[in-house]
Each structure stands twice: as C-alpha cells, then as structure tokens.
Amino acid sequence: MSAPSRSYRYQDLEQKLLQGIQQQRWRLGERLPSIRSLCEEFAASKATVQHALQRLEAQGLLEARPKSGFYVTLKPHTIRTPTTSARLEPPRPVNVSELLLDIMRRSAAFDILPGRPSGDLPPGIVALNRSIGRALRRQRGDDYLYYDDPAGLLALRSQLQLMLGRRGCALELDQIAITCGCQNALFLALSACCQPGDVVAVESPGFYGVMQLLQQLQLQVIEIPAHADSGMDIDALESALQQWPIKACVVSPAFATPTGALMPVPQRQQLLQLADQHDLAIVEDDIYADTAFNQIPDPLKALDAGPNGRVILCSSLSKSLSRDLRIGWVCGGRWHRQILQLKMITQLASSRSLQQGIADFIAEGHYSAHLKRQKYQLRYQRDQLLAYLRGWQTSHKISVPEGGLALWLEFGTKTGLQQPADTDALALYPKALQQKIVITPGPLFSASGQFGHCIRLSFAHDWNPQRLQALTTLRGLMET
C-alpha cells in the first residue's frame, strides 16, 4: 500500500466542480461555464481546468460537446464518492477456497496487518521503476503495433540464462520462456505434462496455489509429508510411487512455503533417481531461491539441464523483487514446445517494455545489489519474529527458515503436553479479522484440510509497533 499522497490543484478543482454538480449549481443537461470563466473563478491555469474537466468526463459526469463546452450528464444522487475505509464483516464459518480469495482480496497473504501505509520505497524498487520508465520512454516508434516473441524478450531471457548459469544450470536461450508470474508458469507446466485424471504428488503442507491449479486442471492429488528442515519426504514419495500411477510431482526444493524448508542435495539426487525409475515429470517451484539468507542454492534443474530433461523449472521475481511485475519464467525441458504453444494460446505474448526494463535492471547490477540488501533485512525480520514468538513460552513448534518470507507455527498446548493443540486456526481467522488482523491458516496448505493447528506467519514486512501489537492480540485470541 502506498502512503497517502498530497492532492494536486487539478484534484482540488475536480472536487469543487463535483460539489457544484452535487449541489445542483449546474443541473443535468446544463452547460458548465467556459474554460476561461472557470480559470478566472477558481484562479487556476487553463491546463489545470482542462485536466479537471477531462477527469470528470472520464467518470461519466460531464460530456464534452465539440465547439460548445462541457455538459452535466448525471443526476446528483447517482454520483458516488469513493470510500476509502474497509467494511468490517461479521464473523462467519469459512470454506478454504473462499478463504483464500478473502485473503488475496485483502492483499494479506504475506502481512497480518495489511493496508497500512509503509515507508519510503526501497532503493532497489526505485531503480527498478526507473529502468522500466526508461524502457517505456525509449520504446521504438512502432513497437506498440507488434506483439513480442511468445517465448519472451531475448534481452530478458539472456539475463535469466546468465543468472541460472551462475547457479550451475546451463540452458540455451530457447529452453527459457517468459510467463506471467510463477503461478502462470506452474499452470503451463502442469497443463503440458499432465492430462485430466492424472495423479500429481505435492508437498504437504504445500503451496495453496498448486492445490488450486490441480483442482482447476482436474488432476488428482496425493499429499506427501514435507518436513520443516528438509522438505518433501522422499521415502514417503517412493512408497506412494509404488502404490499409485503418479504422473508428476510438484516440489519447491528452495525454501518451500509454508515451512521454508531447504532440500539437501542427497535428497534431490534421490528424487531425480525416482523420477527416472517411474518416468515422473518434476515441476520445480524455484520462486524463493533468490531470497536465500546465505548462498543462493542451485536449482534441482541444475542436475537435469538437457533439452530432454524431466524437470520443469518455474519461477518469477515476485518474492525476491516485486509481486507487482507479474513476470516469471519456465524452462520446460522435454515439454518446452507444448509449454510455448500453451503460452501463446493463453497470452499471445508478454509486455516488451516491461521485460526490457527488467532486463536492464538486472544487467546494470541493480538486482544483485537489491538481493544483497534484502537478505540482511529479511534475516533480521525473521530473527525479530522468532525472538518474539519464543518469548511466548508455549510449546509451539516453529520452523527456522534460511530463506523465504515466512515461517510455520504449529500450535502447542498451554501445558506443553503431547495432546491435540488448543487452537483451531480456521476458527481463529474470523476472530482475528474482527481485530483487522489477517492470518493464513494451516488448512490452506493442504488439499485435505490438514494442519488445523498451524498458521503461516510472514516476516516479509518490518516489525513495527503496530505489527507487534497485532501479534500480541493474536496470542490473546489463541488463548480465549
């Protein structure tokens, strides 16, 4: 959320003209005074008056008639003034996909207290905006008349090729395609390697976006337990492979959400061996890798980089740079052609200027400088959250991720004894909402509604007094 901004002269004038219409100084069908008269009356420049009139016209309140002037087109009672405060809803039972929509609409997947103005933009984002702005300004005269190559802009793919190469993953440019974020990359990957009815193995707990995709693509899911320290349990996957015809496996070896687990190299090798034995497609979600507090881990794809590889790497800049870019990528191995085809069918192409701006930003070293700054900040925020939670002195189990944006909290009991936890995360959701606190309850991270005694807590934001107070309130709610 951006900080409240000061209003400009044209906005003040727009408000005055709007009031004039609402108070029927100018009625439906009547003509407003000429631009020159408005300039005199409101002591404003011609540009300011024209800007204000143009905005009222865009809202459908005025109509510009050639060589005549501006006429009122709406009755005052139909004019709505935009409201800024969020409506508080009474507590009600939740359903998991509705719950996810509710959280997304509140922009709260990674913030327990969304909607507060934050401070200045970080320097990395300032530089990014500058690069994108420059790319837009330098657009070639006729660019707007042409679509980009469906695979994506060569300049951006070259930067991604270099970045992946530094992580031990040597890919050709035609093995990389640009997508609309990682969620879209996962969609393209699963659509290419599976048919409706196929069985897909996922981490449990795992990313809710994948559960939604499986549902949409009519795929069957098998949940494989995932540990907070090492990720997907490969022995459990092996046992599942012996029992069911599993077609694909979606896995996040680097800082999986919600636990933040990093899969050790021996498990990665075991996973690829199993994939070979059972002819399994591996969809690798690498989105959190660049948030590593230490060295950025190599992707699983580095162990399987050839054009016929069975690992489909999906990622984006959403977690490491900006969720607002909606730019990601997919390296589809043996399914790459189908993936490209599908991208073209569903999107035609991505924005050339946006890709160019991002490519310049990376090439000029701003991305690596941003990551260096960000990792200290994220680690600090994680430590603050951990210290605060440990101060609660309960028997909660807390994951300690070395990257990513969140940790996983398993509720304990007040006594600390091994018995079912006292708190139900789904029941806590509406109670917290009444206090304007938004949590991400555990059942979101399971297709079968497990983890009712867990929540994901994000450390993506700084722990200012308001957020710390929200945590204290949450703790109080957990105990009532």
Residue 254 CB, shortest distance to ligand PLP, in Å, is 10
Hey, how many other C-beta atoms are within 10 angstroms of the C-beta on 436? Answer: 16
Burial bucket for residue 119 (CB in 10 Å: 0-12, 13-18, 19+): exposed
Hey, how many other C-beta atoms are within 10 angstroms of the C-beta on 262? Answer: 22
When asked if residue 260 is in the footprint of ligand PLP (CB under 6 A), the reply is no
Residue 94 CB, shortest distance to ligand PLP, in Å, is 19
When asked if residue 131 is in the footprint of ligand PLP (CB under 6 A), the reply is no
Nearer to ligand PLP, 62 or 331 (CB): 331
Of residues 94, 128, 135, 182, which one binds ligand PLP by CB under 6 A? 182
When asked if residue 406 is in the footprint of ligand PLP (CB under 6 A), the reply is no
For residue 227, what are the β-bridge partners? 231
Report the SS3 class of residue 409. strand
Burial bucket for residue 145 (CB in 10 Å: 0-12, 13-18, 19+): exposed
Report, in this order, helix, strand and coil percent for the chain, each rounded to 5. Answer: 45, 15, 40
The structure tokens 């599908």 sit at 342
When asked if residue 207 is in the footprint of ligand PLP (CB under 6 A), the reply is yes
d(CA 269, CA 16): 68
Residue 52 CB, shortest distance to ligand PLP, in Å, is 37
Of residues 328, 333, 357, 403, which one binds ligand PLP by CB under 6 A? 328
**b or e along 294-318 (b: 16 or more beta carbons within 10 Å of the residue's beta carbon)?**
eebbbbbbbbbbeeebbbbbbbbbb
When asked if residue 209 is in the footprint of ligand PLP (CB under 6 A), the reply is yes
When asked if residue 318 is in the footprint of ligand PLP (CB under 6 A), the reply is yes
When asked if residue 403 is in the footprint of ligand PLP (CB under 6 A), the reply is no
Nearer to ligand PLP, 327 or 359 (CB): 327
Residue 462 CB, shortest distance to ligand PLP, in Å, is 20
d(CA 44, CA 9): 8
Q: Candidates 5-13, 27-35, 180-188, 367-375 — which segment interacts with ligand PLP by CB under 6 A?
A: 180-188
When asked if residue 181 is in the footprint of ligand PLP (CB under 6 A), the reply is yes
Q: Candidates 21-29, 130-138, 305-313, 315-323 — which segment interacts with ligand PLP by CB under 6 A?
A: 315-323
Structure tokens at 465: 């007094």
When asked if residue 350 is in the footprint of ligand PLP (CB under 6 A), the reply is no
d(CA 471, CA 461): 13
When asked if residue 399 is in the footprint of ligand PLP (CB under 6 A), the reply is no
Residue 285 CB, shortest distance to ligand PLP, in Å, is 5
Name which of residues 86 to 115 contact ligand PLP (CB under 6 A): 109
In the complex, the residues that contact ligand PLP under the rule CB under 6 A are: 109, 181-183, 207, 209, 252, 257, 285, 287, 316, 318, 323, 328
